[in-house]
Structure 1
Amino acid sequence: MSKKEWYLEYQIHKNRPGLLGDIASLLGMLSINIITINGVDHMRRGMLIRSEDNDQIERLTKILNTMDNISITKVREPKLRDRLAVRHGRYIERDGDEKKIFRFVRDELGILVDFMAELFKKEGHKLIGIRGMPRVGKTESIVAASVCANKRWSFISSTLLRQTIRSQLADDELSENNIYIIDGIVTTMRATERHRLLVNEVMRLCSNKVIEHPDIFVRETEYTLDDFDYIIELRNNHEEKITYEAIDPGFSSFDIS
């Protein structure tokens, strides 16, 4: 029987000396291996563990539930957010009402890049939207995540270095392994008909697409936010509001985004 990974998380009520050692010893007695362990929130610890016997996981849970100093909060097959929480020592903020919206601030660019890279590595194509004010790091994060995922990226429209509006792609750019990056403002408000035809072609490809300013994109096209698999919000700080008041068909502060 092959070994299976689990995510175990517990809240610490009293962090007495030797508590982690006791839990590690218990895991050892049950022949459960610890892969990674880290604090994931205030007085909360998460760990990735591996066992070839599901019954041992059940025994572990029952024993841990008898301990007064901790309470189990999660025992499950690890999700992407669980793996990143253990890796970075914090959970990615998620919208409580809309589960596909994930929030980051500029100080968390490393976690954001790691998160997107893991999405790019997954099988199947995904449509990802990323919201944010100008110069917050949207495009740079997408490119860095593509590098981390060992994927090639292609700008369909962008303002990273100068305004880019593509009307055709080379043959080697039409690949399911490519990451296609589209600026929703440039594409819908400043582009030619030939560019829009290319965007329609790219949107039909079974490959990952990342659209900056998805709200403007869906406002000006037949797509809706329901078509997106993930929406990422990137802010300079937690208090910043993402607005599009400066946008018009001419130049605006979003020309450098």
Structure 2
Amino acid sequence: MDRKEWYLEYEIQINRPGLLGDISSLLGMLSINIISINGVDEGKRGLLLLVKNEEQIVRLESILQTMETIKITKIREPKLRDKLAVRHGRYIQRDADDKKTFRFIRDELGILVDFMAEIFKKEGHKLIGIRGMPRVGKTESVVAASVCASKKWLFVSSTLLKQTIRNQLISDEYNANNIFILDGIVSTQRANERHWQLVREIMRIPAVKVIEHPDIFVQNSEYTLEDFDYIIELRDHPDQEITYEVIQRNNFLNDEGFGGFDY
């Protein structure tokens, strides 16, 4: 039988020397391997485990529940957030009311790239929206995540280097292994019907699509925020407000076609 990954997280109740050694010894006695271990929150430790069967987990949980020094907070098959928490030593911030919205600040670009790369590696349709103010690192993070996932990225609409509005793709670009990147503002304010026909074609491809400024995109299209699988918010600092007033102030694109609201 193939071994299976599990995630164990516990909160330290009594922090005494040798606690981690005791737990490691217990895992060894149960023939459970530790893949990785790290602190994931203040007073909490997370472990990625490799087990032969679920009976090992049942026995482990039963024994750990008798220990006064720790309190089990999670024991389950690992989710993406669990793996990233162990890898980076902290949990990704998630909206309490909208579970598909994840929040990052600029100092966490490494975690953001890792998070998106893991999503990009999955097969099939995924629609991802990214909110953020100008020059906070949205487009660069998407491109970096594409590289990490060994995927080719295609700008369908963008202002990264110059205004890009695609009306068609060449045959090789209709590939489910590609990452399709759209700027919701460019597509809604500067594109024609041919571009929107291309957008609809891309939406039918079982591939990853990333929409920057998803709120503007859905206001001017037949798509809704419910169609998105993930919404990512990227800020310079935790208290920064994401607002689109700068669009009206700068009329978005100047005569040379470069964005006042870019990246």
Q: CA deviation at 1:53?
A: 2.7
Matched residues in 2 for 1:60 and 1:47: separation? 13
In the alignment, what sits opposite 1:24?
24
Q: How does 1:166-205 map onto structure 2 within 5 Å?
A: 166-205=166-205
Task: Letter of the 2:251 partner, please give it.
Answer: G
Q: CA deviation at 1:14?
A: 2.0
Task: Give yes or no for contact 2:124–2:176 (8 Å, CA) kept in 1.
Answer: no
In the alignment, what sits opposite 1:99?
99
Q: CA deviation at 1:67?
A: 1.1
**TM-score, structure 2 length as denominator?**
0.95
Q: CA deviation at 1:197?
A: 2.0
Matched residues in 1 for 2:94 and 2:260: separation? 26
Q: Which stretches in structure 2 are left out of the alignment for 5+ residues?
A: 254-258
Task: Letter of the 1:123 partner, please give it.
Answer: E
Q: How does 1:212-223 map onto structure 2 within 5 Å?
A: 212-223=212-223
In the alignment, what sits opposite 1:148?
148
In the alignment, what sits opposite 1:256?
262
Matched residues in 2 for 1:31 and 1:172: separation? 49
Aligned length: 257
Task: Give yes or no for contact 1:133–1:254 (8 Å, CA) kept in 2.
Answer: no
Task: Letter of the 2:252 partner, please give it.
Answer: F
Task: Give yes or no for contact 1:165–1:186 (8 Å, CA) kept in 2.
Answer: yes
Task: Give yes or no for contact 2:64–2:72 (8 Å, CA) kept in 1.
Answer: yes
Matched residues in 2 for 1:214 and 1:229: separation? 12
In the alignment, what sits opposite 1:239?
239
Deviates most, 56-65 or 147-156: 56-65
Matched residues in 2 for 1:148 and 1:126: separation? 17
> Secondary structure at 1:140's aligned position in 2?
helix
Alpha-carbon RMSD across the aligned residues, in angstroms, is: 1.3
Q: How does 1:39-188 map onto structure 2 within 5 Å?
A: 39-188=39-188
Q: CA deviation at 1:254?
A: 4.3
**TM-score, structure 1 length as denominator?**
0.97
Task: Letter of the 1:102 partner, please give it.
Answer: F
Deviation string 1:71-116 (CA, Å, 9 cap, x unpaired) is 0000100111101100111100000110000000000000000100
Structure 1 residue ranges, 4+ long, deviating more than 6 angstroms after superposition: none
Task: Give yes or no for contact 1:8–1:47 (8 Å, CA) kept in 2.
Answer: yes
Identity, in percent, stands at 70
Task: Letter of the 1:143 partner, please give it.
Answer: V
Deviation string 1:153-185 (CA, Å, 9 cap, x unpaired) is 100001111111111212111111110000000
Matched residues in 2 for 1:94 and 1:37: separation? 22
Q: CA deviation at 1:140?
A: 0.4
Task: Give yes or no for contact 1:179–1:209 (8 Å, CA) kept in 2.
Answer: yes
Q: Which stretches in structure 1 are left out of the alignment for 5+ residues?
A: none
Matched residues in 2 for 1:44 and 1:18: separation? 16
Matched residues in 1 for 2:25 and 2:137: separation? 44
> Secondary structure at 1:247's aligned position in 2?
helix
